[in-house]
Amino acid sequence: MKIPILLYHSVAQDVAPQYQRWALSPATFTTQMEILHDQSYTPITASQLVSAILGVNPSLPDRPVVITFDDGLADFYANALPVLLQYRYPATLFIATAYIGSTSLWLYKERVSNYAMLTWEQIGEIASSGVEIGSHGHSHNQLDTLPLHLARDEIVRSRAILEDHLGRPVDSFAYPYGYHSTAIRELLPQAGYQAAFAVKHAISSLADDRYALARIIITAEISNNRFSQLLNGDGLRTAPIEEKLQTKAWRAVRRTSTVFKRWMSLENRLAGE
């Protein structure tokens, strides 16, 4: 069974040019939810998908789809949640806990660090509305470039913060930027998570790796026709998928860059002493 897992970031009308690709207009998002309805898709939560993968509750609707949002931007509450409630669609929202009640500070390089993030009050209301809350790490770092103890802290701390405030289990995780490695993947079950979501721009299945679930990136330039094609898996690979050699090479480049930046930062600090 092919299972599309949709990855959204923002639903907003007016955003900076450098962020336009990641922000769907409210009208576009509403139309996509209408398409799901018209084509008889049934949205399920991350937990429902994982239960089916594990065989705990193997029964799924004929045309399941998982709606996920990354980051925890405030426009989810303002623009996406009302549409989901209108259609009575469950979704899963992954939140970077360091920025709750603040702004999108990790996007400073893209010069869009001033977008409002969800508050705890809003997150509580969202969780009570039937949206499942998951972790997106604490600081939205590229986990596979961090020393393992720092990556573990990002993974563990974010779950503890969410569970402490919400008073309910947080069982799913979404890798920031989709970046992960075998070592990072192994941290997730150790931290108590039941599943983790990657990106891959591929369609998932019941045979998918539940700690590297494939998602389909939904961006602003996708037409209604292409959206329907993506739901059917047209032009997409079906998980499970082996990691590409290019992905491994890109990870090595990012790690080298991160190590060099840390070294330069240390050199600058020492020079200033």
- pLDDT tens for each residue of 69-127: 999 999 999 999 999 999 999 999 999 999 999 999 999 988 899 999 999 999 999 99
Asked whether the predicted pLDDT for residue 54 surpasses 60, the reply is yes
Q: Specify the 3-state DSSP secondary structure of 188.
A: helix
Does this model's pTM top 0.85? My answer is yes
Q: Is 243 exposed, middle or buried, given 0-12, 13-18 or 19+ CB atoms closer than 10 A?
A: middle
Task: Give dist(CA 173, CA 211) in Å, integer.
Answer: 9
Mean per-residue pLDDT for 21-32?
Answer: 97
Enumerate the domain spans of the chain.
2-242, 243-273
Instruction: Quote the percentage of the chain above a pLDDT of 90.
Output: 83
* Confidence class for position 182, pLDDT limits 50, 70, 90: very high
DSSP 143: G
End-to-end CA distance of the chain: 61
Mean per-residue pLDDT for 220-245?
Answer: 89
Find all residues with CB under 8 Å of 91, minimum gap 6, and list them. Answer: 43, 45, 67, 68, 69, 80, 84, 131, 132
Average pLDDT of the residues of the chain: 90
Phi/psi of residue 218, nearest 5 degrees = -105, 115
* Confidence class for position 266, pLDDT limits 50, 70, 90: very low
The structure tokens listed for 224 are 């209604």
Fold observed for domain 2-242? TIM Barrel (3.20.20)
Q: What is the pLDDT of residue 259?
A: 44
Q: What is the pLDDT of residue 58?
A: 74
Q: What is the pLDDT of residue 241?
A: 77
Q: What is the pLDDT of residue 262?
A: 42
Find all residues with CB under 8 Å of 123, minimum gap 6, and list them. Answer: 72, 95, 100, 133, 165, 166
Side-chain half-sphere exposure of 109, counting CA atoms within 13 A: 1
Asked whether the predicted pLDDT for residue 192 surpasses 80, the reply is yes
